[in-house]
Each structure stands twice: as C-alpha cells, then as structure tokens.
Structure 1
C-alpha cells in the first residue's frame, strides 16, 4: 500500500487553488481559439524571426511588437485578378489568415481590407485582443486595430476621412481647400493605447491609401494628412510625449516620391517627373468630366486600345489653379513642417544588421528591396522587404511599419519578421500552404526609450 501523503498546509492549499483558478481561466481561451482555427487548413510557410538586438539589454526600454497586414477583403476577390491562385474562397483562406495572425503573437495588430468581422473577431477576442474597427463611407471593408487587453487600454481614437480633409490652411476665394484629385473613400484610423502596467503609452495609426498606381499626387496628399492628423491627435489627448507607430498598406514603393517625402529624402528628378502626370481631377470630384472622354496619361509601352485601366488615368481632366492641388514645393513644405521624418522599422533595423552580415560574408536571413532594385546607400528604402505583395499582375513592396519618435525619445528596432523567398511565392498569392492574402504580413519589435526626463 502506498504511503499516505501528508495533508497540505493552508499556504499550499491557497497556492493550489490559485493555480487551478489560473488554469481554468486560461484553458477555455485556448480551447476556444483551437476550435476556431483549424491547424491543418491554417498551415503556411514558416518565416523566421530576425533578432537584431536583445531588447532586455536596452535599459528603461518600453517594448512593443506590432503586426501589419492587408488581409485581402473577400468582397474584393475576383478570379480575373488572381488567375494563378488556388484558394480564393473564404473558407480556403480564412484559417491561414487566423493562424498567421496568432502565430506572430504581436502586442498590437494593424489590419487592412478587413471584412467578415463575424468570423475574425471571435478568433482575436479568444486570443485576448480588444479592437476598434473603422471603414470609409459605404465601404464593405475597413481598417482594424487590435491590442492585447492585458497590456493596453484605449485612451482615445480618431477616424480620418481623407475626402473630407482640407490641405490648405487659408481660404482663398475660388480655390478648393481640399486639393483632392479623386473621391476615394479611403481612411486613416488612429487609436491611443495606455499601458496597463506602466506609465507609458503609444499612438497607433493604420491606413490603406488610394490604390490606383497613377494617382501619385492623391496618395501624397493622403500621406501628408495622415501624419498631420496623428500629430494633432497626440496634442488633443495631451500626450505629445507618446511615440507613434504608423503602419498599413500605403500603395507606394520604396523608390516612389511619396516614400522619399515620408522619410525625409530629397526628391530625385525622375521622382518629380513621376509625380507631375497625376495632377488631375477625376469625375468623382468634378462631375462635369464626361466619362471616358479624356485619357490624361498612359505608359509609352501601352496600346491605347485595350490598355489596362489600372495603368492609365481616365475620366479626368488636367488640374487648374482653382482645384487647389498642392504644388511640389507645397507638398515638400507640408511634410517638412510636420515634425521629424518617419522612420521605417524594416529599413532602419535591417540596414545596420544586414550590412554587418554582408561584410562578414554570412548567409543573409532575408532578401530586401535593394537586392532587386538599385537604391544608393545614401538613400532610404533599400532595406525594405523584397516583396510585400506578390500576385500574377503585381509584385511590389507596398506595406510598411513607420515610426514617429516622441520629442524626447528614441526607438530601437530589435527584431523583424523575415520575408518570403521569391520562389515560395510563385506563381502568385494567395496560395494554399503559403499565404492566405495577396499581401504578406510584416511584424516588428520596437523598444522606445526616453532621452530626457
């Protein structure tokens, strides 16, 4: 007969009860999440985490891990847009989306093209996230910011309707103060988060800028508005001392003029040339423009008949002074006057890290935009991911994690999620077992510190 165990002391009983209560509180969450996400259907290609620095070695640092991802709204899926995809139905894609979101275990999620909320929200809520969702007028998809409830509580929010925003501070008679070229219904979404365990906070903004490749000016306008509104929002809630993370699908590439404006690089002549043809006014702004009568610009290699409408500007007219569009000097000035340039987590973090590995001839853990597009080392953008969107028609970098440091603070990028290998993305996303969206999730770990007390 086995000897009887001695009775537990009151302290041991209390400790046992506490453990049981903790387990009972945790297990339903795990079981619920597991029941919502099918492991086999959610299988994707594993991506390595690139640890650039040890965050624990940064004294008095405040760590934030953020993930940004355009999920490809189901309401936008068309077979003709993704001819090589083998998973265009929601039931085929959704578990891959959920699995990858939860796998990264980010503190904060910034998601774009979010629809089917009745499916997504139970998954992230079961994993301990609270959220705030916003969408443009009459849009079936929108932007969602989620955050771990054990770490953060909401301290304010703001929705930016780009179409309604003015870009001119003075009212000139007969001049449109909005200075817009297209009624896009795109939005910026801002949420302030107060840490639950320390006297710190962070302002999070996510956006999905206008998609049309030729409307460069309109994207520049929207990017300027987003930065302006983030800065003003911090002031309105009394937290200019909080840093900002601004991430999302910006629909511009690292060699685009808007990227240079955002990160503070001077514009190259070729970038200015790319911007000029987009000084137009679409029929959504000026209904007097007759549909289909004017084709403002087209690629030299495009045939006028049967040209891809995504690559030309149609149903628009050349802008006039009364339309109020910001000139190039005015665009430069508005970005310069909004405080320091934004810093890209990937470009900043990988620049020094991969540079040191290249010097030692080590195997590189990820490829970058600069590996396929020549960008001088003196300019930013070369260390963005090699791809962030990869489809039959579009193979680009469009997504970013930008940082606006606090006035008396600085940020250190301690880790980023590696990119996919190009060969794994063929013949185009979304693909079963690879990625459930046409975009690739980006994630960065950032440590914020104060430079002064």
Structure 2
C-alpha cells in the first residue's frame, strides 16, 4: 500500500524548515571554542584586577591626602577608620578649659607671664598582650593581637589618634610594632622594664620636631630599692627603703630640651615621668610609699639639671592603680587625709613575705649586709603564686601570646580584697608612719629621717595631722575637667551621683543606687572599663613650678620652721596653665566593656592635657 500523498503546501513547509542535523550544526558553529572561552575568562580577571588596583590606588591617594592635611593638633581626618571605612576606635575631641574669673582662679589658672609653647601630654595603659586572659575580659571580641593591632596602632599614633606631643605609655610590649608606628610618625622614645625578663614596660615618646632626636637626660627609678632618705653615715650607711613588699615597679624620667627656645624667660624644656604603681587594691601603704618616692626623686631630678630648669614644667603621668578617694591621690595632691585614707594606710602597714625572703637571701650572700639589692631577676623568678605579680600562669591558647607573665592591677582575682602572706610590721622594718608619708609627699618640707619616727603622743594639731596646708601636685583633670566648655562635661565625673557599679562581684550594689564616691571630685568618671572592673586609675599630675627648698635638714628647729611655712607655701604655689583636655568616653560608649573592636583596643582610656610649658607663671591667688 502506498502512503497518501502530502498536500503541496505542507511539503513546501517541510522543505523550508531545517533538519535537526542542520540545527545542531548551526548551533555548534556559534559556540565559542575552548580557546575563546579561556580568553574571555582572562579578560574578565584582568578587568577585575584593574578595578581592584584602581580602588586601592584611590584609597591610598585619599590616605596620603589625609596624612598631608592634618588638623590643628596634627591629626588626620578619618584617622579612626580603616581603608574600608570600618571604625577602628571611637575618636574624641579636645575640650577648651574656661578661663577663671579675675582673682578667683584655682591653682594653675592664675595670670601668667611670658607664654611658653603649648605641649600636649598623653597617658595611656595600652594593655600588654602578655597580660590578656579571656577570663578577665569575658565577652570581649578584641583579645587576640591580630584583632587588637589595628585599633591600638590607630589610636596610639599621634596622627591618626589624639594629636599628642609627648606620650607616657604603660604595659608596652610588641615594641617592634609600636616602635615602628612612633618612628613613622616622627617620634623618638625611651623604653624601660622593671627587670630583664619582664615582658612589658614603660615608654615615653616625644615629637622630634619639637624636642629633637634624643632626650637631654634620662633616669630609671627602682621603687623597691629607692630609699626614703639618704644613707646615714652615722648609722653605718644603712639605707631606709621602708618597702613593705617586693613589687618590681619602676619610674621612668626624661628631660626633653625644646628644639627651639622662645627666649630667656622660657625654660629650656620639659621634664616628664611615667609609672605604673603596685596593683593590689589592699596594699595602699605600698602605693603611698611609691608615689612619695616618685615625687621626691622627680623634684631632685629637676634640681640636678641646673638653675635654668628651675621653672621647667614637670609632668608625672601614668596608671597609679588608686582612685581619687584613696590615700595615694590625697597625698599626691596635698588634700587632707580622710578617715578612709588613714584607715586604708593603717590596715596595709604590713610586711609581705617577699621582703623577709629578700632579707634572708641578702644576709646569706657573701659580703651582703643590710637591705641592699639582690638579683632582681632572681627575686622575680622566685616570687610567684596568689595572682600578686608572680610568674608562671600559662596563657589561654586562644590568645596565643607571651606566657609566664604576671597578672597586673585591676586584672586580679577574687582574692584581691585580702592581704595574703603578710605579717604585722615591727619598728625594725622601718615602715613609714602616716606623719612621715605626709612629709614625704610635701615638697615644702625636708625628707623624713633615716630612722622611723615615733608616733605623736600629744595628739598635735588635727589639721596638721591630716596634712592640711601641704604643697602637693595638681591633677590636670581634677582641677580643670569641671571647667570645660562647648560643651561642658556634665555628669561625667568621678563624683557624679549616677556613677554606676565599680566591680562585677559587688553583691551589695543595686541598680540605680547613688555613687558611693559622690562629691566634688572632677576626675573622669572612668579611665578603665572592663566587663569586670570600672574605675578611675590614670592621672596627669603637674608639679608646682618652684617647690622651694626640699633639703633633708633635720632637727626640731628645721621641722618647726617647715611646718610653720607649709600652709603659706601651698597657697602661693604656682602651676603651669592647662588650656585643653581630651574628653573621656561616657558610660554608654564603654558598656559592656573594653577592649572591644571599634571602640578601644585597651581596657584603659587614654587621657591627655595641653599645657603651657616653660613660662613664668604667677601665683594662683
């Protein structure tokens, strides 16, 4: 049977349509070859690479433009941002100190003679990486150094940070990183540690364009070994240190000469010191002793530089591990001692076993006598345990940095509210009485004697016993932070009523309760704000421009004369003028704690003061 014939129109249509084979052949002819595909891929990759290079070049041009166009403080715009626009730290502004009313100013704000150069002094405990423990900073996202480095570098750098001229830094390690930052910004620095194997130390840096390449003079003070009085030859040359425990804390002093001096009435430079006092909260006596030694040695350092340095600005800045209501702060600033101050000194006038151990080693050593120094590295290695500055705690693996480093200060444990391994002090220990601590800090009086003073049996004058009328130092923030303008720092003080809890383990604290330190203190509300501790520990102190005769003359007549003139001397004290202060973070910014990415890479907050240096200021009243 033959198939039925198709209509002519359908046959024509079928003839017009290409066959499947023809379609496949045509499709294959339009597909790029493997070589063409590879060429297109290479072109796309080259385009992406060029776009990335153009973007990087644009970002570098912007960065370089910022570096070439700093503000009045030498800071670049956007220095707190990385190349992607991410925040590295929260920047802060400088606040101008309001001028006092005529005749009514406090210390450091009176009429001044020839104005000297303005120098911005900064102090910051940058938190040594070797001290980082996750248990001390629960919840922090900024513990590994790779997470902290960018924020630390950006804020530490004067150009991308706070525009400082002289910086005092504590807990400095990773010197290969921080030193490079300082040198790149045009700064020189000196660095010292408390003992050879210590992993972090103190650093003072200065702008070379302002002070030159090298320091004029440097001094390292061992606070354990420094005597409170020159050796008494009549007593066999015995040195009285009055030390209550081995701490291995130091003070670092430098004299910096101005690269260009303005005139004969201007001092040749500035004198700067930094320290990190002993951390344990219960050892108030030892911190009070250390601060007094720093005051005396720094004043002696100024006098040793010669007459032309007599009116030089002297700055003592650092982490003092004590709050404004403490004995240390009251002694340093010449404020009368409160009942709390007196009680905390009395409670901590004890001797730690590290002192007894040190004496035993000294007596056992060939040719050793008295309380002279022994190998400080050996002392450091043998003193351990109890979280009190000893060695040996391994670091959490996740932080992955230096191990065998001591836990410091506010990073202590639950036992930091107890005195451990201590005994009652005896007269033979030679610890300082409260009267002697007052005298040690008073620049208008001679040093205490080489032998312990006997407690007063007559009771004496109550004002004198508490230290009224002493010549102390001036706190830059304590004296001026309450007088910032545009805007004022309202409710951001240590004495503010709404200041919250200081310790996470304070079971007596209740939400909304008043600040236990409510009062007139105008120190910053916080200078450290971790998730465990929130405290005010860092200060920038200024010495009186002339401190009078700090001789060590003894005897009843000398003591009576010094006592009679102390109040008048303190009232006539002259201090350098503070013109601006770096504003500190408020609580809402720091919560729930730092270090934290994008906020601050340390648990401490940097503080800074602009000071008119080297001028001839008039009395404040």
TM class by shorter chain equals: 0.7 to 0.9
Pairs within 5 Å for 1:222-261: 222-238=290-306, 239-261=309-331
| 1: CA distance, partners of 2:594 / 2:602 | 6
Pairs within 5 Å for 1:76-115: 76-101=131-156, 102=158, 103-115=161-173
Aligned to 2:177: 119
Which is higher, the Rg of structure 1 or of structure 2? Answer: 2
| Larger proportion of strand | 1
How far the C-alpha of 1:169 sits from its partner, in A, is: 4.0
Aligned length: 401
Aligned to 1:348: 479
| 1: CA distance, partners of 2:611 / 2:231 | 38
Aligned to 1:68: 123
Is 1:429 the counterpart of 2:594? The answer is yes
Pairs within 5 Å for 1:43-442: 43-53=88-98, 60-101=115-156, 102=158, 103-137=161-195, 138-153=197-212, 154-169=215-230, 171=232, 177-199=240-262, 200-238=268-306, 239-287=309-357, 308-337=414-443, 340-353=471-484, 364=489, 367-371=492-496, 372=499, 373=515, 374-377=517-520, 382-407=521-546, 410-442=575-607
The DSSP-based 3-state class of the residue aligned with 1:286 is helix
| 2: CA distance, partners of 1:41 / 1:313 | 45
Aligned to 1:12: none
- Kept after mapping to 1: 8 A contact 2:137/2:530: yes
How far the C-alpha of 1:277 sits from its partner, in A, is: 1.3
The DSSP-based 3-state class of the residue aligned with 2:351 is strand
- Kept after mapping to 2: 8 A contact 1:365/1:418: no
| 1: CA distance, partners of 2:578 / 2:135 | 39
Q: Deviations 1:341-398 (Å, cap 9, x if unpaired)?
A: 11011111123447xx9xxxx7646611111344544xxxx11100001112211000
Over 3 Å counting, the alpha-carbon distance change for 1:53 and 1:148 in structure 2 is farther
Aligned to 1:446: 611
How far the C-alpha of 1:266 sits from its partner, in A, is: 0.8
- Kept after mapping to 2: 8 A contact 1:175/1:322: no
| 1: CA distance, partners of 2:584 / 2:126 | 16
How far the C-alpha of 1:333 sits from its partner, in A, is: 1.1
Over 3 Å counting, the alpha-carbon distance change for 1:129 and 1:70 in structure 2 is same
How far the C-alpha of 1:240 sits from its partner, in A, is: 2.3
- TM-score, normalized by length of structure 2? 0.60
How far the C-alpha of 1:53 sits from its partner, in A, is: 4.8
The gaps in structure 2 that reach 5 residues or longer are 1-63, 69-73, 100-108, 263-267, 361-382, 387-412, 446-470, 500-514, 548-573
Aligned to 1:16: none
Q: Deviations 1:166-193 (Å, cap 9, x if unpaired)?
A: 1244645898711111111111000001
- Kept after mapping to 2: 8 A contact 1:42/1:95: no
- TM-score, normalized by length of structure 1? 0.81
Tell me how large the CA RMSD over aligned residues is.
3.2
Deviates more, 1:67-76 or 1:197-206: 197-206
| 1: CA distance, partners of 2:543 / 2:261 | 21
The gaps in structure 1 that reach 5 residues or longer are 1-22, 295-306
How far the C-alpha of 1:278 sits from its partner, in A, is: 0.8
- Kept after mapping to 1: 8 A contact 2:93/2:582: yes
Q: Deviations 1:241-264 (Å, cap 9, x if unpaired)?
A: 212011000001001011011000
